[in-house]
Each structure stands twice: as C-alpha cells, then as structure tokens.
Structure 1
Amino acid sequence: MFQPKTMHEMIKPLIVANFVLGMGVWSKSRQKIWSVAYSLFCLVSYCVLMKLTIDYLQVYYLNKVHPLGNVTFKAIFYANICLALCLVPSGWWRRKHMKAAMMRITMCEKTMEQMGIQKNYRKFYLDQLYALVFVAVVFVVFAAINYEGMFTQETPLHIKIILVLAVHYPVGLLYVSDVSFLHWVRYSKIRFEQLNNLLQRMLTTTPDSPQHKRVLKMKDEWNKTFITSATQQDSRSKDNTDTMRAVKQVHLELIKSTRSTNEAYGIQILFSMTISFVFITSLLYYAYSIIWVNMNAEMFRREMIPLVGWILFYASKVLIINHTCALASIEAANTGDIICELYEPSTSKEFRAEIRDFTLQLIQNPLIFTACGFFNLDHTFIHGVIGSVTTYLVILIQVGDLQKGNSTLLNNGTNFTTFNTLTTDIYQ
C-alpha cells in the first residue's frame, strides 16, 4: 500500500481531483503553466456547453414547457453557472495563499517530528480518498435523481450529454472545493488535538489529587524530598519549559497556516454559503407550493425528488462546513484550558512565564474561520441560517397567501360588478 512520506505526496488525491476539474493552479511551480492552460481549457469548454444548453432550452421553450423552465430551477441553473465561472479562476488567486500555508505547515511538521508527534500522513491520505469516493458516489446518485425529470422521451442523446455535463459540472466543482477546504480544516484540528494530548501528558493534577492538596502535601514533605529530588525536578522543569515553548511556537504557526488556507478558500465559501441560504429558502417555499397543488402521484414524485435532492445538497454544505470549522476552533481554544491547569506554584518561574506568554498569544490569535470576513463559520452560523430560513419562509408563505386572497376578492368583486351591470340593463 502506498505510504506517503512528504506533504506533497500526502495531498496527491486533492491535487489530482482539483486538476481534473480545472482548479489545480495551486500545485507545484513547475506545473503552473500546464495548470493554467488546462484551467482555461476547462473554462472555455464549460462556456461552450453553457451556450449550447441555453440555445437548446430557448428553442425548446417555443413548443413545450421544459422541466428546467421552472423559475426556481432556472435560478439554480444560472447561479451554478456564475459560481463555476468564479471557482475556476479563484484557483489563480488561491495559489499564493496556499503556498504561504504550505511553507508554514512544513515548518510545523519538522518541529512536531522533533517533539515526537506522529505525522499520520497515511491517515490523511486515506481520508482524502474516502472523501473523494464519497463525492463521486453522491455525484452519480445526484445525477441519476435529476436525470429522469430533466429530459423528455424525444430528447436527442447528444443533448442529454450536454445537459448532464452542463448542469452537474458546477456540482462537482463545489463538492471537490469543499472537500479540499475541509481537508485542511481537519488537518489543523488533528494537529491541535495532538498538541493538546502532549500538554495533557504534562499534567500532574487529577480529580483525586487537585492542586490545593498537592501544594499542602508538597509543603509537608518538602524537607524530606528536597535534597533527593531537587536535581530531578530541575531537569523535568527544564524539559517541560522547552516543550511548552515548542508547543507555543507550533500552535501559532498552525493558526497562521490555517488562516492562509481560509483566505485561499474565502471567496468560494462566501459564494457557497450565500447561494445555499438563498436556495434553501426558495426550494422549501417551492416544496410548500407543490404540496398544496392538486397533482397525481407520478407528477408529485417527479417534482419532489429533484427538489429534495437540491435541498439536501445545499443544506449539507452549510451543516458540514460550519460544524467542521467549529470543531477545529474549539480544539484550538481547548489549549488555553490545559495550560491554565499546568500553571502551578510547584513549577519553575520560567515555565510559568511561558504559560503566561502562551495565554496572551491565545487571546491575541484565536482560530476563527470566516467567509472573506463577512461572517464566521461555526455553530452560530448554522443557528442563524435555520432562524433566517424559517423567518423568510413564513414571510413568503404569508405574502403568497395574501396575494391569493386578493386575487379571489378581485375576482369576486368583478363578478359582482358584472352582475349588477347586467341586472340594471335588464330592468332598463
């Protein structure tokens, strides 16, 4: 089985997946020209597919109502076009941030190797493969769900191929971009977790022996153990001080590298979260409208299955991305709790000074994921999306019912006026 030894070998699945879809510009420098050329080829090919698709839909609208003619799905279609046209060029902007992040990550890896922390490159490599296989399976299922409602029986084969590629290419771009971003978020989370485990091994307090009991015990046995253990305690204190200093440095570099990856994917995350919020609200309102429309079971199934698929697609993006970012931020913040437990009177002045500096560093450099600085990516954003979607959905339902009521009153008023006019004419 393949055993990656370097960082570049570890992220090989992501490099290949991004390159195939035309977003591999942030790979090695000597591959930059070929990556840019291939990205331009993918972008031009996609624009040609979009032109053929739009021409086909415009011709088809002259005679029949196509399933893609629905306003909501047309909005999704054109929004995905705009998003795809932004994601591919964003790879060129992303490259400089990823280069800075990779330099910091390489420095962290060397320091952590000296500290005895395992690299786990194989685990990261397998996680990428599993994630990409999952994306491929979801992509195929998603295409199969939308395939039935996308065409009629007389649609030519070449038109089917063009429509499938045009509609689902942006979906592939979004999934691979999300997997790439989440890989670096999970990488930072695992590294912070390893650092926290290293610090926890330095703890001497337990629930059975809290700090105040240890201080009293140390005072009672000070004269007995001072001579025999002074040298051993000095050596242990120096080792702990060096470890704390190294952990502090690695922690800061990890936060800076994670910020660089966040900046690299900031545009993608901003567009993705915004479009997801808008379409979750629109699709739920459209589903509400379908439920109250009298249609047979076959038509209801053809309308609802693609609708549920798109809702799950956008909702899963919001939930998974924000939940993973929140876990990484929480793991980075947990370091502060651990070092506060390490701050004991029995430790040396140098060790306590390192803890104070580390605490100040954590306050000044918190790990926060943002979408280009517009909003934070965490559990609070999930709560906000749920509340906002519910609020706007209620407003849309009320406005829709109000319009239906006004139309009914208007029709009744028109009929009443017509009745009065006819009655007057008869009597005259």
Structure 2
Amino acid sequence: MTKTQTATDAAVSDVFREEAGRLTAALVRALGDFDLAEEVVQDSLVAALEKWPKQGIPDKPGAWLMTTARRRAIDIVRRDKRYQEKLAILERTPLSPEPVETDDRLRLIFTCCHPALSQEAQVALTLRAVAGFTTGEIAAAFLVAEATVAQRIVRAKRKIVDAHIPYRVPDGSELGERLDGVLSVLYLMFNEGYLSRGAQVGMRRDIADDAIWLAGLVAKLMPDQPEVLGLLALMKLNVARSAARFDAAGEMVLLREQERRLWDHATIAEGIAILDRAGAMRASGPYQIQAAIAALYSGAPSWDETDWHQIVLLYDALQRMADSPVIRLNRAIALSHFAGPAPALGEVNDLAMTLDGYHLFHSARAELLEQLGEPVLAREARMRALELCQNPAERSLLERKLRA
C-alpha cells in the first residue's frame, strides 16, 4: 500500500466517523425506523469506500453521503409497500448535511445508551450508529465473534422498537440520570481500551481513542454539562501517559518507573484546560474529581513530588459523591504513599469481603505486605491476584514479581 493510499484511507475513515452519526440521526428522524436508517447508512459508507479512493474525497463529503443515503433510502422504500408514507416524507424532505442536526445526534446517542439495553449492546450500538463502525470492526475491537456482536445489535434494535424507546433527549429531572448512563458507557469503552480485561492484549489504544472521540462529540453537543467535560479531561489525562506504560517488549511499566519525558504533555495541558472549563461551572462531580486526581499524577515533576495528601483528600470527596469498594481501595493505595503501609493495609483488609474476586485488591495487598516485611503473605496475595487476572501485561508483571 502506498503512502497516498494510506493517507486516503485514513482521511476516509475520519470522514466516516464524523458523518456516520449525522447520517443515522437524520434518517431515523425522517424515517422513524432505526433498522432501515442504519442499513441505508452502511450502504452509503460502502459506496463511498468504493468510489472515494479512486475519485478522491469530495469537497463536501457530508453532502455527498447525505445525498447518496437519501437516494438509497428512496430506492428501498419504493420496493416495499409498508413504506409508502415514508417515501412521501423522503421525497419532500431534504436531508441537510449541515450541523442543524445537533439535537438529532444527541437523540441518537441517548437512544443507543438507553438503560433498557444491556451495556454490551449500548456500546456496540453506539459504535455502529454514532461512529459508523462495521459489525466486524466492533468484533475485532472487543475480541469477540462477529456473530455475537451482530446478535447484540439486532436484539438492541428490536428492543428499541418493542419497548417503544423514544428517540429523544431526556429533559428535566430525567436528564441527569440518563446522561450518567451515557457517560458510563463511554467510560466503560475507554477503560476497556486503556487496560483490557481480556487475555489477548494489554491495551487497545484504538478503543480508547474512539471513546475519547465520542466523549468529545457529547461535549461539543452539550457544552454546558461539567461532568461531560470532566470525563473528557479524565480520558485525555490518562491516555497522555500511554507511551510510557509499556516497554519495547510490551511489559507493563508502573507509574513510579515511567519515563515522564515520554508522556504527551500537550495532551496533558489540553486535559487540564478542559478540567478548568468544567470547574468554572461550579458544579463538581465524580468524573471531575477523578480528572483532578489524574491531573495531580500527570502534573507532578517526579514520583517523589506527587502530592499524595491532596490525592487522598480528593478521594475523600469522591467517596462522598460515589462511594464504592474500588474507590476505597484506590484511596488506601494513595494513603500508603504518605502515611505508610500499616494504616493503608488496615483499610485494604477491611475490603476483603467485597473485593476478594478483584485481582487489583490482592496485588495492592501484596505490595503493602511486602513493605511490612511479610514476604510469605505477600506471595500468597500475589498468587491469588494472578489467578484472577486475565490481562497479559498485568499477568507478566505479577509473574516477574513472584520470580523476584
């Protein structure tokens, strides 16, 4: 493949990701049929993929895709008597490629992330409808069978119809809860990319980047929502350290040992600026606090200069907003860095009942036991962590420590 072909393919991919949500949203609004709209969008993207590498990307790719989609939709509905009313709507309604569909894309995102759908289905449907992924691309990204992803999408679209899930942005008191659901889906997607739960790869940067793109889209469409900005800042601050998280052999490098010159300091600055925008709205939330913690990690000149006391105080605030055993575990780890391993181990041990099946609980406990001069107990804890862990980079790190 030539450099020109590679550049063209990358440009086409960028256009698809930007325009897929606009196309689907406009067609769902015009047709009132999610399944048909998505079929038309996929056909239009395939047509572009066939023609643009040969003919070049049009000056107005969004207009080209919208025109192609409208023609394809008319062709389909003409062949089906059930769609005669929709045909009349299509023939008299222009589908504008201009950004007048902002609310449409928000409607689409909230529909894809409706709580009536399983989280796996929400992720798959969001990537398919909003970001323009094919079923095969989603399957490859999450290392599952294509048939499994296809089934999730089919069931999700059927559920939307059968449960009469409305194609709208929630309003009033419902908005906050539903927005939390959307952000949870995006954060789940990001975390799966940032540190995979599967046994094949340590990190999937492509999935993390797609989650950041989607979070950026929501932030652009809902600029007055501070928690959206908080999540976007959190993602950027974390992904900025990616280049230092694994060595040349793919082995995981812990934060203490990372070469900070490899961090993407421009992205760190961008994340902090986004967090400052959220903070100016004076409505703090869990994602903003997590982003503030990440900012303290990323802003410290060295491990020894990290402000662990401030990080513990932020975890205290986070607990008051969204308490969970994992947050308590992370607080205890931060506590150990300025108060010592003994008080931290006491807090970690208090979580044994709720986190016994969580590998990071056992690996954190092993570190603290080792610092307290308990090598036998530390080894037992590390062995338990290895039993529970699937991520290959984390497993390799645990095995190295067991051999030491």
TM-score normalised over the length of structure 2: 0.25
Higher share of residues assigned helix: 1
TM-score normalised over the length of structure 1: 0.24
Q: Which has the larger radius of gyration?
A: 1
- Larger RCO, structure (CA 8 Å, separation 6 or more): 1
